[in-house]
Amino acid sequence: MYIAANQYSGSTLLAFLLNTHPEIASAGHTIGWQGLSPEFLCSCGAQLRDCPFFTAIRRHFEEAGLPFTFDGALPTKYSISRFDRLDRIVFDNLPKLRSATLERARDRLVERIPGIRHRIEAADRANVTFIEAALDYAGASVYADNSHSPYRARRLAEISTFSVHPVHLVRDVRGIALSTHRNLGWDLEFTALHWVRVQEQIVRVLQNTPSFADCAAEYDNLLVHYEDLCDRPQAVLAKVVRPIGLDAPEGWTSFKSAEHHILGNEMRFDAGTVRKSERWKRELPRVTRKAIEARCRDYARKSRYCDALTQILDPMFGG
């Protein structure tokens, strides 16, 4: 299972809830996290170098003859350099082009370059090793990757070992805009435009990946709204796990009762109750909310993925 999402969408919460299922294991952001180091605190409270889960992961890597370090990013990340912009051009979205055809052509091209092909193959092996080790540790059968980028989901789906089921997690753009403004200083309307472009990017990748075709045909089947997850966790989680043949056990709202080793934001140290954040309702003026809606609606109307974007926007703004 793969969670595709914009930042600040509640994906760490979803990873915790999924990890509570006895048949699901998750480390959250499987490519690592900002400031990752041996001293970084796992959600279990231990430093990564002492965490029993990551000790088991490292042992599996050693037995497979593969390197494993806590150095900003894990070896599971598809990367050719320390420059994020270059990695995005090689592995993620092509800036301003927004074309699935060109992206697939780019993928075929970079796979023919010996140095890059070697990096891809190494990351493939690292992902197989990590996921197998995580499932072995948890005694589970399904791994939930919460690394956000839909391009990573597409790349993982090309590994014959995996069958990848995507989930598109969405949080109200007004909440995203406020969080991004407070944490990164971004302009609110610019953040709204960036957000709707990210939603289009996720839709485009999932709808144009052959192995996702069946589940992406009715896009609502892939959508999970953060607000619904908080209001009705049991029903929403049942929807998420049903396509992979699992039932939702009772009691997922008290998710900290299970053992967790999640990489993510500060939420990983919360008490374990599901609490919906809607600070934007208090802090965003009505005129700002209207401007954000207008920016998103206007972009969606002009997009070739208008239908799916409308399914995303209507629950937020009404429609």
| Strand boundaries in 41-192, DSSP class E | 142-148, 166-170
Per-residue confidence band for 257, with pLDDT thresholds at 50, 70 and 90: confident
In the predicted model, what is the mean pLDDT of residues 93-103?
Answer: 81
Lowest model confidence (mean pLDDT) among 69-73, 134-138, 195-199, 300-304: 69-73
In the predicted model, what is the mean pLDDT of residues 29-45?
Answer: 88
pTM listed for this prediction:
0.92
State the sign of the Cα–Cα–Cα–Cα dihedral 66, 261, 35, 149.
positive
In the predicted model, what is the mean pLDDT of residues 296-314?
Answer: 94
- pLDDT of 131 over the 90 cut: yes
- pLDDT of 231 over the 60 cut: yes
* Residue 286: other Cβ atoms inside 10 A: 7
- pLDDT of 253 over the 70 cut: no
- Find, among 72, 50, 81, 279, the residue nearest to 178 by Cα: 279
Mean pLDDT of the chain: 90
Share of the chain above pLDDT 70, in %: 97
- Dist. CA 60–CA 130, nearest whole Å: 8
Per-residue confidence band for 275, with pLDDT thresholds at 50, 70 and 90: confident
Bridge partner residues of 170 (DSSP):
225
CA separation (Å) from 69 to 54, 55, 72, 170, 263? 10, 11, 9, 32, 15
Secondary structure of residue 24 in the 3-state scheme: strand
In the predicted model, what is the mean pLDDT of residues 42-67?
Answer: 94
- Find, among 236, 209, 201, the residue nearest to 309 by Cα: 201
CB 275 within 8 A of CB 57: no
Can you give the pLDDT at residue 125?
Answer: 96
Can you give the pLDDT at residue 149?
Answer: 94
- pLDDT of 169 over the 60 cut: yes
- pLDDT of 81 over the 90 cut: no
